[in-house]
Amino acid sequence: MENIINVKSLRQNMQEYAKKVQNGQSFIVFKKSKPLFKISRVEHDLWEQVIDFTKIRKGGVDINELLERL
């Protein structure tokens, strides 16, 4: 179920809304009686792992070293 909140409430209670979104709730954010955007939980399968740099070197790879090799 989507709840309606205003921008001021979102700004003042960001941590509270973040927890609610993390638990599956979604919100439509309004400003001056007009909908601006919707916030909802990101589905876990949205992200695709391309490479795990910790398999190359323990602790990962330094970004500067990686960029030098490109």
Residue 12 belongs to domain with CATH number: 3.40.1620.10
The whole domain housing 21 covers: 1-42
**pLDDT of amino acid 45:** 67
Q: Strand, coil or helix: what is 31?
A: strand
**pLDDT of amino acid 1:** 53
User: Higher pLDDT residue, 62 or 20?
Assistant: 20
Q: How many CB atoms lie within 10 A of CB 10?
A: 19
Residue 66 belongs to some domain of the structure:
no
Residue 32 belongs to some domain of the structure:
yes
Residue 69 belongs to some domain of the structure:
no
Q: What is the pTM of this model?
A: 0.59
Residue 3 belongs to some domain of the structure:
yes
- 48 falls in which pLDDT band (50, 70, 90)? confident
Residue indicated by tokens 């509270």:
16
Residue 63 belongs to some domain of the structure:
no
Residue 65 belongs to some domain of the structure:
no
What does the DSSP 8-state code read for residue 57?
S
